[in-house]
């Protein structure tokens, strides 16, 4: 059985904020299907009682003191912006 | 003998004795880069002027008796560590013109110790790959055979060290990206324990797996570099408050009674017979040196690739959401709406492999699939950790091949991502478990391609890697062929 359809891939492409042309979509659907079929291997293992690991060492609440410190000056923060006016980032109109 | 042939240790001694200066050494490396890098493609950006200024400063500091642990040593840096005022591309078109405004913590530490940064080296785009072939600016060759891959993702780091363009390098390892290219290029590479080294300023790929580490021509230099970059950093809440040992102190320490585990799952079919023989030779050398060799089992090894290729793309899809064309990086200027701008900028800026992984991750994390994929993989990750726990109850180190195959020809497996993913089978479990791993040269194939031996140790036991690795380095007869440059 197919793990993933072309329609599902189209939806994922949108969620990931990407675009693919028709040829790319065909190819990626096959590749994702192969990969997802392979990872199905994990279903061989019974894991209902196993705690998931997200981080190897659980660092709990890495708080720091609430002290004011230097931050990046505005002109530096803007230096790599594709478009800016010296005060803010420019993007296409939203509203 | 040319100065670029010196080890870090030798170069420091010669500078200390006033026989050479850092400016002479740095210029020698830069000239070598100019001469050979058009054939090697290790460098993305060479900072000749900046490097010579840093070298002159290092010479001044040394003359005042202020030099640090790396005073005047020329290094290359993988192009995903943020370097202030020096372009950092991550091997991607989307960051082609990106010039960071701050240094990564490890870069700051290297600079504090007087290290000289020659430039930035090639890598797979966003560190996603095992060959460095997805680097937008050109593919590094294997220094022992042109037309063969240098490995990846830190292919430029390993190639630049092996080709003696620099005396050492920093790379990063998410699923083998330091150990695998080190093995394929015949140099030493170490992935430290997760949390040993700060990730602040390391461009994020998979945050629970990424770790910065050194690549150098020998064990002693690797130990020195690791000492310089290790330690807790308040800017990385996952870095761990652990004292940093003097790793060099474990070099040459006796291996009598050292318990070395050989995981039977790493020696199945699919392992190249020449690699198996080279690793077997390493085992025999340790046995003759007084180590206790034990047959051990890591039963969940066969599930590691599946776990990794859910967890790493999931974390990547989240981390790479920041490249949207708004604040920095490539922007498609023809887009009229914000959504179009996101989609068009990302589609034109990312390469195929990065897009593929973003899509796998987006799917695995999407509504209705989270439990089946990410949660399931994280549960199996726990079983992999337990495997290691059991083995380290009775062993000091685990010895195995680094890869099933030696370096292969560029362009192979291009349309078959899964077969490339499967070649990572021996390295990714260390990232999933957060343990340290090292690749140390073990020999060369009949074709003259390098083969490394992998050593793994328990959390924060890098010293065992240096102890065992240095014994192998001393006793293995490498018969190193000439570089093909």
Task: Determine whether B423 is an active site residue.
Answer: no
Nearest to B360 among A19, A35, A79 (CB): A35
Per-chain mean pLDDT for chain B: 96
pLDDT of residue B362: 97
pLDDT of residue B482: 96
Q: pLDDT by residue (tens digit) across B233-270? A: 999 999 999 999 999 999 999 999 999 999 999 998 88
Give contacts of B359 with chain A, Cβ < 8 Å: 9, 12-13, 16, 18, 28, 32
pLDDT higher than 90, residue B422: no
ipTM of the complex: 0.95
| Reported pTM | 0.97
Determine whether the interchain pair B240/A57 forms a contact, defined as Cβ–Cβ distance below 8 Å. Answer: yes
Pairing mode of beta strands B259-263, B212-216 = unpaired
Are B52 and B29 in contact, with CB atoms under 8 Å apart?
no
Q: In which band, very low, low, confident or very high, does the pLDDT at B418 lie, cut at 50, 70 and 90?
A: confident
CB pairs under 8 A between A and B: 159
Nearest to B347 among A18, A56, A77 (CB): A18
Determine whether the interchain pair A42/B336 forms a contact, defined as Cβ–Cβ distance below 8 Å. Answer: no
Give the pLDDT mean for B449-465: 98
The CA-based angle B115-B122-B158, given to 5 degrees, is: 65
DSSP code for B267: G
Specify the residue for token string 């330091």.
B178
Task: Determine whether B78 is an active site residue.
Answer: yes
Active-site option among B76, B153, B172, B345: B153
Are B256 and B289 in contact, with CB atoms under 8 Å apart?
yes
pLDDT higher than 80, residue B115: yes
Q: Tell me the C-alpha distance between B418 and B130, whole Å.
A: 12
The burial of A94, by beta-carbon neighbours within 10 Å (0-12 exposed, 13-18 middle, 19 or more buried), is given as: exposed
Q: pLDDT by residue (tens digit) across B134-192? A: 999 999 999 999 999 999 999 999 999 999 999 999 999 999 999 999 999 999 999 99
Residue of B nearest to A71 (CA): B102
Both tokens of residue B445?
């194939």
Q: In which band, very low, low, confident or very high, does the pLDDT at A94 lie, cut at 50, 70 and 90?
A: confident
Phi, psi for B237 (deg, rounded to 5): -70, -10
Cα of A1 to nearest chain B Cα, Å = 17
Say what angle helices B352-365 and A6-15 make with each other, to 10 degrees. Answer: 100
Both tokens of residue B259?
């318990």
Residue of A nearest to B338 (CA): A92
Q: In which band, very low, low, confident or very high, does the pLDDT at B474 lie, cut at 50, 70 and 90?
A: very high
Specify the residue for token string 């093995």.
B183
Q: In which band, very low, low, confident or very high, does the pLDDT at A1 lie, cut at 50, 70 and 90?
A: low
Are B112 and B73 in contact, with CB atoms under 8 Å apart?
no
Determine whether the interchain pair B343/A47 forms a contact, defined as Cβ–Cβ distance below 8 Å. Answer: no
Q: pLDDT by residue (tens digit) across B119-138? A: 999 999 999 999 999 999 99
Q: Tell me the C-alpha distance between B258 and B370, whole Å.
A: 43
Residues in chain B: 485
- In sequence order, what are the residues at sequence separation of 6 or more whose Cβ sits closer than 8 angstroms to the Cβ of residue B61? B67, B68, B71, B114
């Amino acid at each position: 059985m197919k793990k993933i359809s072309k329609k599902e891939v189209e939806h994922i492409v949108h969620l990931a904020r990407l675009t693919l042309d028709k040829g790319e979509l065909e190819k990626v659907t096959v590749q994702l299907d192969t990969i997802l079929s392979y990872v199905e291997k994990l279903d061989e293992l019974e894991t209902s009682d196993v705690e998931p690991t997200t981080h190897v060492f659980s660092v709990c609440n890495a708080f720091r003191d609430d002290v004011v410190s230097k931050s990046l000056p505005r002109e530096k923060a803007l230096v790599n912006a594709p478009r800016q006016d010296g005060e803010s980032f420019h993007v296409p109109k939203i509203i | 003998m040319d100065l670029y042939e010196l080890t870090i240790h030798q170069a420091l001694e010669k500078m200390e004795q006033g026989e050479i200066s850092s400016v002479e050494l740095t210029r020698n490396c830069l000239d070598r880069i100019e001469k050979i890098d058009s054939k090697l493609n290790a460098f993305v950006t060479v900072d000749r002027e900046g490097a010579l200024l840093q070298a002159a400063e290092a010479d001044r500091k040394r003359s005042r008796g202020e030099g640090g642990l790396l005073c005047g040593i020329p290094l290359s840096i993988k192009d995903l560590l943020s370097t202030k005022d020096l372009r950092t591309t991550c091997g991607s078109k989307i960051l082609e013109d990106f010039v960071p405004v701050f240094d990564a913590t490890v870069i700051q530490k290297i600079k504090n110790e007087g290290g000289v940064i020659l430039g930035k080296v090639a890598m797979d785009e966003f560190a996603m790959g095992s060959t460095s072939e997805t680097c937008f600016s050109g593919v590094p060759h294997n220094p022992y055979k042109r037309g063969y891959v240098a490995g990846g993702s830190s292919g430029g780091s390993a190639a630049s060290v092996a080709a003696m363009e620099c005396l050492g390098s920093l790379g990063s390892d998410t699923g083998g990206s330091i150990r695998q290219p080190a093995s394929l290029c015949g140099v030493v590479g170490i992935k430290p324990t997760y949390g040993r080294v700060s990730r602040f300023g390391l461009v994020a790929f998979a945050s629970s797996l990424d770790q910065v580490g050194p690549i150098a021509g020998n064990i002693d230099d690797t130990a020195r570099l690791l000492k310089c970059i290790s330690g807790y950093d308040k800017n990385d809440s996952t870095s761990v408050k652990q004292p940093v040992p003097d790793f060099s102190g474990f070099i040459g320490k006796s291996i009598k009674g050292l318990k070395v585990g050989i995981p039977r799952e790493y020696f199945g079919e699919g392992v190249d017979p020449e690699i198996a023989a080279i690793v077997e030779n390493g085992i025999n050398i340790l046995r003759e040196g007084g180590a206790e060799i034990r047959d051990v089992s890591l039963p969940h090894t066969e599930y590691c690739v599946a776990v990794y290729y859910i967890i790493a793309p999931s974390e990547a899809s989240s981390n790479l959401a920041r490249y949207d064309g708004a604040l920095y990086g490539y922007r498609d200027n023809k887009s009229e709406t914000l959504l179009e701008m996101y989609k068009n900028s990302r589609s034109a800026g990312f390469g195929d492999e990065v897009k593929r992984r973003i899509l796998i991750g987006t799917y695995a994390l999407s509504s209705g699939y989270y439990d089946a994929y990410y949660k399931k993989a994280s549960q199996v990750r726990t079983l992999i950790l337990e495997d290691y726990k059991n083995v380290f109850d009775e062993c000091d180190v685990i010895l195995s091949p680094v890869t099933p195959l030696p370096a292969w020809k560029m362009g192979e497996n291009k349309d078959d991502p899964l077969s490339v993913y499967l070649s990572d089978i021996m390295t990714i479990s260390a990232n999933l478990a957060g343990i340290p791993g090292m690749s140390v040269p073990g020999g060369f194939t009949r074709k003259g391609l390098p083969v490394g031996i992998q050593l793994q140790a328990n959390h924060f036991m890098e010293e065992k890697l240096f102890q065992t690795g240095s014994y192998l380095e001393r006793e293995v007869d490498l018969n190193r062929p000439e570089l093909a440059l």
